[in-house]
Amino acid sequence: MSDADIEAYYKAHPDEFNVTQEKYRLAQILIAAPASDSPAQVDAAKHKAEDVRAQILKGKDFGDLARQYSDDDSKTKGGELGEFDPNDLNDAVAAGVKNVKVGDVSPVVRTKYGFHIIKVEAHQVPGGMALNEVKGAIRQKLQADRSKQDFEKWIDQDLVKEHYVETSE
């Protein structure tokens, strides 16, 4: 697909690239520290969370660290939590990710469950999406459409002419 084809599709279908509702796609590492923990246990959990965050900032893989350290069920999926409307987030988590860029991690966030390190994997803001954000998706869609058309053409023009094909019409 040429860039001109992609740009033409983008311009012809603006409604497909308009975000109407803000969404976050998040992953987390939770170091548990329930209310029943002693102050020393809470301090140790906070220190552990800060250490894990430091490893992330040094380039260690977030998913690997989630599988290794997280006390949350999401650890089996590398910390993946899914998509959230900002209003559905815990207040502390929402405040923690508010100014975090996509691909980055939050500071350590304290909730009643413990200490969270949140990775912002995607953040959709209401409005039109830029062409460079959707170029890859448009390319895949156009290639899939062209492949389907080429396959149907091959069946109709080549395969049917060269072989006896019985249809149930």
Question: Could you tell me the pLDDT band of residue 169, with boundaries at 50, 70 and 90?
Answer: low
37-84 pLDDT, tens digit each: 999 999 999 999 999 999 999 999 999 999 999 999 999 999 999 999
What is the per-residue pLDDT for 149?
Answer: 82
- Tell me if 12 is assigned to some domain: yes
What is the amino acid identity at position 9?
Answer: Y
81-138 pLDDT, tens digit each: 999 988 889 899 999 998 999 999 999 999 999 999 999 998 877 666 777 777 888 8
> According to the 3-state scheme, what is the secondary structure of the chain?
CCHHHHHHHHHHCHHHHEECCCEEEEEEEEEECCCCCCHHHHHHHHHHHHHHHHHHHCCCCHHHHHHHHCCCHHHHHCCEEEEECHHHCCHHHHHHHCCCCCCCECCCEEECCEEEEEEEEEEECCEECCHHHHHHHHHHHHHHHHHHHHHHHHHHHHHHHHCCCCCCC
Cβ within 8 Å of residue 156, ≥6 positions away: none
Distances (CA, A) of 89 to 70, 107, 109, 129, 134: 19, 16, 13, 23, 26
What is the per-residue pLDDT for 160?
Answer: 63
Which of 3-7, 20-24, 47-51, 140-144 has the highest mean predicted lDDT (pLDDT)? 47-51
Total domains, the chain: 2
- State the Rg of the chain over Cα: 24
- Tell me if 167 is assigned to some domain: no
What is the per-residue pLDDT for 93?
Answer: 92
Residues 154, 76 share a domain: no
Q: Characterise 82 by phi-psi region: left (phi > 0), alpha (psi -120 to 50), beta (else).
A: left
Residues 120, 67 share a domain: yes
Residues 106, 60 share a domain: yes
Residues 100, 66 share a domain: yes
- Tell me if 100 is assigned to some domain: yes
- Tell me if 169 is assigned to some domain: no
- CATH value at residue 49: 3.10.50.40
What is the per-residue pLDDT for 48?
Answer: 97
Residues 151, 136 share a domain: yes
Domain that holds residue 80: 21-125
Residues 97, 79 share a domain: yes
